[in-house]
Structure 1
Amino acid sequence: MVLTNRLFIQVLFLLSILVIVAEVWGATSRRQESINKPLKKRIRSSETRTTNKETSTSSKTESNEYEFCRNYNRIKKNVQDSALSEDFIVGKRSALTELLDVRDRPYGNYNKKGFSFTFDSYDKVEYGRAVEACLYRKLQLLAKDKIDDSYFYTRPLEFEPREYLWTSAAPCSKSDPLNKTTNSCSSVTWCPNNVETRLDYTLNLGKFTPPYCLIYRNSTNQLELLDCSIKAFFTCESACSRAVISSQNNCQKDESLFEVIGRKAYLKKEHEIRGTWEKTQFGFFYYLGEKFVNWRENWMTCCSLGLKPIALTDSLLDHFNRSNIPVQGVAFWSALTRAGCPLHFENFLHNASESLNNVTIFGIRQGGSCVAVSIKETGDKEVKSATAVKTNVCASKLLLGCQGTEQTFDIRDYSSNCDLPVCTGLPDCVMKDEIFLKQPFRVLLAPWRFGNLHSCCDNSILELHEEYGTWDEAYKRCCSLGMDLLSVHNPAKQDCLGNPYKNSNPNEKGYLPFRTKAWTAGRDIDSCRGQLRWCTGYLNDYLKKDLKWKQGHDPRFANNSCVYINLGDPDFPSLALADCSEKKQIICEAPMGVGFKSQMHYHPCRRNYKVKESEAEKIWNTGDFSRTSYAAKNMIQCLAEHIGLVYNSTEINQHVYIKMLSRMLHPLDVELMKKVNEHQMFKVQENKVTLPSSFEANYGKRKIKIFEGDMLEDGADEFSLAHFDFVTEMMNKLYECREIKKSNEDTFMFDFLVCLLQSKAVDRFWRFYDFNFEQSSVIPADHDLNSPCMTFDYFLKNDTISCIPPNDLLLLTESGPFITLKPINLKMFNTSSFTACLERNGSLPYAETKEVFEMIYNYIRSVAPKLTIIWDQGFFDKLNGKFMWCRSDIDPLQPGATIPIPVTVNATTKQDFVMLVSLPGAKPNLHAVPATDELMYQTNVFCRFQDFVVNKCLTNV
């Protein structure tokens, strides 16, 4: 609240008596700081009507001798000679502190103008006091020849428009001295920095006597001479006007880096930089590279590519305010720097006048002169992305960011680099949506339909029914099922495939139920002959050297070859090479269970190396590596190889590391951010301060800190900044830790993580990881396949909807069952017909008797006569020759989980997976039909509930 009336003066006077600030009484009444109003008119470009020819005078001595700057220099010298250290003001202060300053400094506030910050007065003072006020703030009076409307915004509760603004200019200059005949000139000298500016109008000194003071007039957009004793507003700025950076002449394209192939320019292989081209609507291109560089290396690399570093402007932020942002969530360099200039930023190598008006640059007072940016998807439909723009130490290693008016080179298939374990030239991987349940998780429906399904060696292995094909055909077929070709990533897996029951019965030799020659995921590629890779949707590594090969097959001599496995070998399942065009059996595999693959690999790696579950959980949950067994170190190595983070035992896959960093921290909780900004982060319950559950779930119990901002704003996007700090620290740690000693291949990843976890930015490695971005496993685990019913266990239940209101249920008879009064809207709840009722602790309708079936049917028809009724899961019992209900409201292994269907089923198919439906009509009917998207996701459903579920809901209001 702005206090400008007499009451405030009286209160201020009383306060000065009661407290200890006697000097306040002598201070002029000043208005309290208030929040700036939004802009009422569009900022127009400078209309100073000046012709700018800036030339610095040769020495400071000459400037001091220039007669018209004598007044400014005298005031400056007097301050320097007489001021004490406590006289100076540094940085932003609170409004009250600013208002009650006993030193009686002119009152004002810091504001952002383009890439710089200024102090703008709210008090009108004479020229001398304006110069002193700026010097006491370790700034200088305005010395800018381009002045726009932003300097003249009317402050809150001002009674007159802001027409005049004191400047540090003095009339005339050395190149345009005073014309003594006319007593005029057409230039000025800016006294603080000795810069001359030629004007397209004339200053007449005849009406004034020294000292000469120049004021800028808003209505005329001109500098005018004015009596120095007149009171006016003023603006202070930093003493420097631009960052100290290299000459633009140093930015030259290096043609030796390129080679022309088929009329296209490519980077030579030894200079290739993995990255992504981004074409903008503004007529230029961005190149976001996966190369770690410091700020200087960034602009030098960009220049050598015929580009420039990325100009940090509103256009850049507008372009990335969308979903599917490339290299999202990580930090890359911009051209912006303030090197040697505390409060002024400049886009190095760019002359564009566009500024960064809508985003604050954070971290200005935390060190670092170079600016980086991180843009992350928010997960919110209205707020597409969140941006963190922050100063950073220029020597930090962040990602390459370049910009140009054209795409200067084409991207070769970078993964053809033989030093990387990435397969190229693979056929497209297309999953057949119609065979999956897609909501709320993707699950392969009844996988046993497609072949001989077997669970062993920590995987679900599927031998397709008499299906043979080339390697490419086998790859595509497994992809269509959400699976990969069989892979043998280590000798332990190969040994297990030869005797999958060894652990359960060591004295008995066991075999897989299929004894055939089948393709594996292993192959080499045209440009890298003899270097065999596992080509899967997740694991990316070379074949290990200690695998067992069929006699006469040497992997070193692979020549565009594919790897198959002979599961019928009587000694062991050996690997062998074959031409990829040969046709062999197709065997697919996937982790057992529905969930994220990286989590699925945790358990087999633990079991393979016989790590106690308590030790593994300690590592996983706490990140404590202080007392870790050798077996646990092997487990960590195993996990890192499975997720593709490490290859060749001791090489970090930088591409995977960057992708993992982008997944650190959950998508920004926009509602939570709003609570932060509204100071509603904490709530008090029973005299205890607690955090919202969503914050604890997403971010743990880390201490919340609301950033003050950069001399401008008291609130900031805490989560964007926390993410920025995290990823920049982790990116720099990669550069340091990947060079650690590689003496032990079995424990390299453990040593790497120990180094990584020394970072202050991360105290729990996996706790910050968002698995929602991960690839998922779609094959149900063993316990989901022990019944002919396709069951939906905890991984498909939505715990956020635990009960349906009992008032929305109908009790059909005195003994039950309960049924919903109206159908559940699948689209509204983004669910499926299978899970809509499970999410509410119920089931799809089923009937024990014909009478109950007809009762349920007739009720639904009375409410929804045109609805296709979807009943609970069923299957055709081939032994008894009849259809059975699959009751989804109890465990499928319990007695009574399957009961006979008491009415006739009109079966258009007797396949393993069908849906039981009743078509519209007055007469009850039941059909067994194939599952379709319309039935699974578009047809609303009624739900049935048992008595105990309803009673539980009633007791838990």
Structure 2
Amino acid sequence: MVKITTQFAPLLTLLAIFFATDVLGATTRRPRATTTPTVAKPIRRTASTTRRPNMRNTDSSFPFCRNYNLIKKNLLETAVPDDFVAGKRDLLLELLDPKPTPPGIFSKKGNRIFFESVEKVNHKAAVEACLYRKMQLLALDTPEEINNNRFFITYWVFLENMPDSVPDMEFVWTSAAPCSKSDPLNKTTNSCSSVTWCSSKVESRLDYTLNLGSFSPPYCLIYKISTKQLVPTNCSFASLFFCELSCSKPTCPSEKMCIKDESLFEVVDGKTYMKTGREIRGKWEKSMLNNSDHYYFLGEKLVTWSENWKTCCSLGLKPLPLEKIVSQFDRHNSPMQGVVYWTAMTRAGCQYQFENCFLDSTIFPARVFGLKEGGSCVAISVRDSNTRAKIGAGLAVKTMVCSSKLLMACKGPAKTFEVREEIASCDLPECTGIPDCVMDDSKFLTRPLRVLLNTYSYGAWSSVCDMSFLELKNELGTWDEAYKRCCSLGMDLMSIQNPSKQNCMYKSPSIDGVANPEKVLFKGHIWTSGRDVEACRGRLRWCTGYLNDYIKKDVVWKKGVDPKSANNSCVYIDFDDPDLPSLGLADCSEKKQIVCEAPAGTDYRSKIHFLFCRNSFRVRQNEARKIWNTGDMSQAGFGFKKMVQCLAEYLGLVYDSTKINEHVYLRMMSRMFFPLNASAMDNAIQDKNEWLMSQPSLNSAGGFTKFLTQATEDIMDEFYSGHFQLAAEMIRQLYNCRDTLKTNVETFAFDFLKCIAESKVLNRFWSAYNFELDGASVIPLEDEFYSLCSTFQNFLQNTSLCIPTDFVAQLDQTGIFYSKLPINVKRFRTSSYTACLERSGALPYAETKEIFDSLYNYFRSQAPNLTIIWDQAYLNNIDGFTWCASDFDPLYDPINHVAVPVDVVKEVSGNPLMLVSLPGPQPNLHAVPVTDELKYETEVFCRFSINPVAYCLSNPGFKRWEY
């Protein structure tokens, strides 16, 4: 079997062929034959069929091509439509097709696409094979081409590695015929120094003489790769062949059409902005490549391919070219993750070729997917990190129907205008002109999830209405101060999103699950997140990190308050109102109490809000689950419909009851990811490999290597192309549903969901949705609100796994077991905090100095340079440092308080602290912050009690974790 060197492997990239041209016309690389091999209704002749007279004298203009034209004429008269190959076919069909279409592969050389045979055939079969593929036999009709054998570099690769037993592969059939009008045949010498390329009707003068010698018509010329010359030969000679297109360059709009529209812009304080009302939401991305000053503008405007280049040009930019520089987007957290942008590239009018319109740039050397599925315009996106890890690239390029609605993307040598940080619009519920919401990282554990630490130290906590509330004691502030204070803790100001929430806030909270009517949740006037903004006075909206909506008309206001009178006003809630906590208006500069809220528990916000909405409208869990799982919306009652409306408003998809927020919708689409099913792909490739190896006819002349490459590319195409169709279908369905739904204010979101679901696209969307990008609540579970230690309950993953019997050892007769080796947290994708807890153990701690020294010495003997992570501790004013002891709760079980038995070097203040031992022969213990970077990916030893060890030993069939 012939192997292709890695250096030339990209040259075997297989570009699928699909004849769909939905924009623009055709241009040619040079004059080509106007006759195409496609016939509207070709008729296959039989013995009883009388042949028609010649349609025209095909030899009159080019008598030298009499033989080529006759082959072409006969094929077109006798072929039927099924004989022609429309697009790239399945590999098995390619090999087993009984029609006279010798198999081969498609290859890209420069900006041209060729079909390369893997079988040797005579001249007539080569001409027909190209015509059946709606192509034409190779014409090297410029001096540059005829003297450049790089067209045949793949054959040179084969030649360099070819065993002596393989027949010669140096010759390639061409469409050339000897002599031309300007250089007719010299009958005396039977020679000439020119050729006519019959496929393109172009003449070429040669710098050598063609001596036809004893050859008689028809004359066939073959290209000899080693000498770079055409050689007359017998037409029955068997040789390889190349097919090419009748065109080699798609048609692009004229450069003169790319004009900047100055009326779109205004100059403010010396800077250029788009005029108010004309803004396109988007952001600039500076090129990350060295020595490059290029900028990209990635917009949120949904456009067709034509609208994309027109919009870019109106902004003084060009559409996004596919070139090497665009690979900067192939990175983690790329702005192109999950969403699809138009590029400047098209193949319209020349289906095998691609061109960056308006730009003189080389084609980006990426595989173009989806060509079998149609579409002439090219889009780009970034797949998930799993795909990038598997194939070394996450950037995906695919043809799309040019009328599809995708996101706009432009490129320019510099920023041509400034993007306003926030586009103020009274028609959108988003807040502008308010302080930045910034979390104080020093207050959080940031990996693997962001969680607020030391919750006991900030104020009084309450859990009600499926939310966590923090009342900042003895702390008043203006609205801006209150907003920033809650943001610093990863929380929001209180919001009354609907009457259900307002009624829920009136209910008394419970103590240990028992209602306490004597306790009042809050007292006095407390700021909410509601306010108006400078550009839209009198239009009140909630300003939070999760809720993007106007204040509803059916919430209860204080008597005499008219919300329409708002003018630089902020909304507060009056808990002193005896009937119901009611809303009031105040100047935003007034100082009021601060209460922050966040969804209860560390989970993704979309899931947490679902719980509140379900409970608010009394939808049973099994009812909700049944409808979600079956997709049968006909089972939904009114409460379920209201629940969907509530959730859609919390997520920001629906605002003002009946409006779709396209900005949020697109942001959710960007959270789609498309994990590579590597094992399935590998299995499919292996199956194809085994089948190919069983075909003796392919094991010569490099055929096996070529077809295996093609098979691999076909399989990859199937795995990767669904990304773009899903994005386009979601957007198309968005518009269809938005424009056809009735505006029922109570069930609009449900009707919208039902409309989306009817397209069968909703389930595909959610299966591709990455909830990890959704943003999780930062508030721990309720039992940690007043604890001095963090339990990390929210991070536990592998709690059902048992301990390998040979992994633990017992410490003397103490009943303490410990791990013989440290756990590699990177391998198990866990954290140093939770690696032991997930295995029903604890980070190590010691009740006595002897136990501490024994554990230390053993750990150090196994890992001399490891920073040993011990348990958390807190500073007890009476006993000094006390272990948190991860396997019990020191706050509610004081009997289990265990003092740290050795001296601790205290490097920081605050609680809780992590105790660590730095590398060294002598036992040592240092107190460091829990948020120290050291612990995130540090291997850890674990301590186990007798119970989990005995359980695992007594249940040998239980699933175990393997080290």
Tell me which interval the TM-score lies in, with the shorter structure as reference length.
Answer: 0.7 to 0.9
The 5 Å alignment of 1:285-434 reads: 285-316=295-326, 318-352=327-361, 354-359=362-367, 361-379=368-386, 385-434=393-442
Distance of 1:772 and 1:555 partners within structure 2? 38
Percent identity, aligned pairs only, is: 47
Shift of residue 456 of structure 1?
1.6
Distance of 1:474 and 1:425 partners within structure 2? 15
Q: Identify the residue that residue 562 of structure 1 maps to in structure 2.
A: 570
Quick one: higher RCO (CA 8 Å, sep 6+), 1 or 2? Answer: 2
Shift of residue 655 of structure 1?
1.9
Q: Identify the residue that residue 649 of structure 2 maps to in structure 1.
A: 641
Distance of 2:273 and 2:312 partners within structure 1? 15
The worse-fitting range, judged by mean Cα deviation, of 813-822 and 286-295 is 813-822
1:272-321 Cα deviation digits (max 9, x unpaired): 222233333466443322122222322332333333333334543x2322
Shift in CA distance, 349/171, structure 1 to aligned 2, threshold 3 Å: farther
Distance of 1:575 and 1:173 partners within structure 2? 93
Distance of 1:569 and 1:905 partners within structure 2? 56
Aligned-partner SS, 1:252: coil
Q: Identify the residue that residue 731 of structure 1 maps to in structure 2.
A: 731
Aligned-partner SS, 1:547: coil
1:383-440 Cα deviation digits (max 9, x unpaired): 6642333332222222223334444333223432332222234434333333323343
Distance of 1:98 and 1:833 partners within structure 2? 55
Shift of residue 811 of structure 1?
1.7
Shift of residue 666 of structure 1?
5.5
The 5 Å alignment of 1:757-776 reads: 757-763=757-763, 766-776=766-776
Are 2:916 and 2:928, in contact at CA under 8 Å, matched by a contact in 1? no
Shift of residue 624 of structure 1?
3.0
Distance of 1:869 and 1:109 partners within structure 2? 59
Distance of 1:790 and 1:769 partners within structure 2? 30
Shift of residue 183 of structure 1?
11
Shift in CA distance, 806/55, structure 1 to aligned 2, threshold 3 Å: closer
Aligned amino acid, residue 773 of structure 1: L
Q: Identify the residue that residue 65 of structure 1 maps to in structure 2.
A: 60
Q: Identify the residue that residue 165 of structure 1 maps to in structure 2.
A: 172
Shift of residue 830 of structure 1?
6.3
Aligned amino acid, residue 319 of structure 2: P
Aligned-partner SS, 1:266: strand
Q: Identify the residue that residue 278 of structure 1 maps to in structure 2.
A: 285
Shift of residue 444 of structure 1?
1.8
Shift of residue 480 of structure 1?
2.0
Distance of 1:737 and 1:616 partners within structure 2? 23
Distance of 1:224 and 1:397 partners within structure 2? 53
Distance of 2:131 and 2:397 partners within structure 1? 30
The 5 Å alignment of 1:656-735 reads: 656-665=664-673, 667-668=675-676, 674=682, 677-678=685-686, 713-716=713-716, 718-735=718-735
Shift of residue 853 of structure 1?
2.3
Aligned-partner SS, 1:416: coil
Q: Identify the residue that residue 151 of structure 1 maps to in structure 2.
A: 152
Are 1:869 and 1:919, in contact at CA under 8 Å, matched by a contact in 2? yes
Aligned amino acid, residue 330 of structure 1: V
Distance of 1:106 and 1:883 partners within structure 2? 82
Q: Identify the residue that residue 15 of structure 2 maps to in structure 1.
A: none
Are 2:869 and 2:917, in contact at CA under 8 Å, matched by a contact in 1? no
Q: Does 1:260 align with 2:267?
A: yes
The worse-fitting range, judged by mean Cα deviation, of 405-414 and 223-232 is 223-232
Aligned amino acid, residue 150 of structure 1: F
Shift of residue 944 of structure 1?
2.4
1:465 to 460, 464, 473: 473
Are 1:314 and 1:358, in contact at CA under 8 Å, matched by a contact in 2? no
Distance of 2:907 and 2:246 partners within structure 1? 84
Are 2:109 and 2:151, in contact at CA under 8 Å, matched by a contact in 1? yes
Shift of residue 711 of structure 1?
8.9
Shift in CA distance, 543/232, structure 1 to aligned 2, threshold 3 Å: same
Q: Does 1:860 align with 2:855?
A: yes
Q: Does 1:140 align with 2:146?
A: no
Distance of 2:742 and 2:849 partners within structure 1? 72
Shift of residue 582 of structure 1?
3.6
The 5 Å alignment of 1:68-83 reads: 68-83=64-79
Q: Identify the residue that residue 896 of structure 2 maps to in structure 1.
A: 899
Root mean square deviation, CA, Å:
4.6
Shift of residue 270 of structure 1?
3.2
Shift of residue 226 of structure 1?
6.7
Distance of 2:587 and 2:572 partners within structure 1? 10
Are 1:784 and 1:790, in contact at CA under 8 Å, matched by a contact in 2? yes
Shift of residue 606 of structure 1?
0.5
Distance of 1:259 and 1:923 partners within structure 2? 70
Q: Identify the residue that residue 269 of structure 1 maps to in structure 2.
A: 276
Are 2:685 and 2:712, in contact at CA under 8 Å, matched by a contact in 1? no
1:438-472 Cα deviation digits (max 9, x unpaired): 34333222412110111122211111132233333
Shift of residue 81 of structure 1?
3.2
The worse-fitting range, judged by mean Cα deviation, of 554-563 and 914-923 is 914-923
Aligned amino acid, residue 612 of structure 1: R
The worse-fitting range, judged by mean Cα deviation, of 742-751 and 921-930 is 921-930
Shift in CA distance, 440/160, structure 1 to aligned 2, threshold 3 Å: same
Distance of 1:922 and 1:227 partners within structure 2? 87
Shift in CA distance, 782/319, structure 1 to aligned 2, threshold 3 Å: closer
Question: What is the aligned length?
Answer: 881
Shift of residue 592 of structure 1?
0.9
Are 1:566 and 1:574, in contact at CA under 8 Å, matched by a contact in 2? yes
Shift in CA distance, 467/389, structure 1 to aligned 2, threshold 3 Å: same
Distance of 2:321 and 2:445 partners within structure 1? 46
Shift in CA distance, 36/111, structure 1 to aligned 2, threshold 3 Å: farther
Q: TM-score, normalised by structure 1?
A: 0.80
Are 1:726 and 1:762, in contact at CA under 8 Å, matched by a contact in 2? no
Shift in CA distance, 41/451, structure 1 to aligned 2, threshold 3 Å: closer
Shift of residue 629 of structure 1?
0.7
Shift of residue 651 of structure 1?
1.7
Structure 2 runs not aligned, ≥5 long: 12-27, 37-55, 690-706
Aligned-partner SS, 1:759: coil
Shift in CA distance, 187/387, structure 1 to aligned 2, threshold 3 Å: farther
Shift in CA distance, 520/140, structure 1 to aligned 2, threshold 3 Å: same
The 5 Å alignment of 1:101-250 reads: 106=102, 108-113=104-109, 117-143=113-139, 145=141, 147=145, 149-154=150-155, 156=158, 157=162, 159=166, 163-169=170-176, 190-194=197-201, 196=202, 215-216=222-223, 218-219=225-226, 232-243=239-250, 246-250=253-257
Distance of 2:463 and 2:750 partners within structure 1? 30
Distance of 2:764 and 2:131 partners within structure 1? 48
Are 1:460 and 1:589, in contact at CA under 8 Å, matched by a contact in 2? yes
Q: Identify the residue that residue 538 of structure 1 maps to in structure 2.
A: 546
Shift in CA distance, 679/842, structure 1 to aligned 2, threshold 3 Å: farther
Are 2:444 and 2:931, in contact at CA under 8 Å, matched by a contact in 1? no
Shift in CA distance, 374/675, structure 1 to aligned 2, threshold 3 Å: farther
Q: TM-score, normalised by structure 2?
A: 0.79
Shift of residue 814 of structure 1?
3.6
Aligned-partner SS, 1:863: helix
Shift in CA distance, 127/862, structure 1 to aligned 2, threshold 3 Å: closer
Shift in CA distance, 905/198, structure 1 to aligned 2, threshold 3 Å: same
Aligned-partner SS, 1:802: coil
1:825-871 Cα deviation digits (max 9, x unpaired): 66776655542321221123456xxxx52342131243357998766
Aligned-partner SS, 2:739: coil
Aligned-partner SS, 1:953: helix
Are 1:496 and 1:502, in contact at CA under 8 Å, matched by a contact in 2? no
Q: Identify the residue that residue 40 of structure 2 maps to in structure 1.
A: none
Structure 1 runs not aligned, ≥5 long: 2-33, 44-51, 682-706
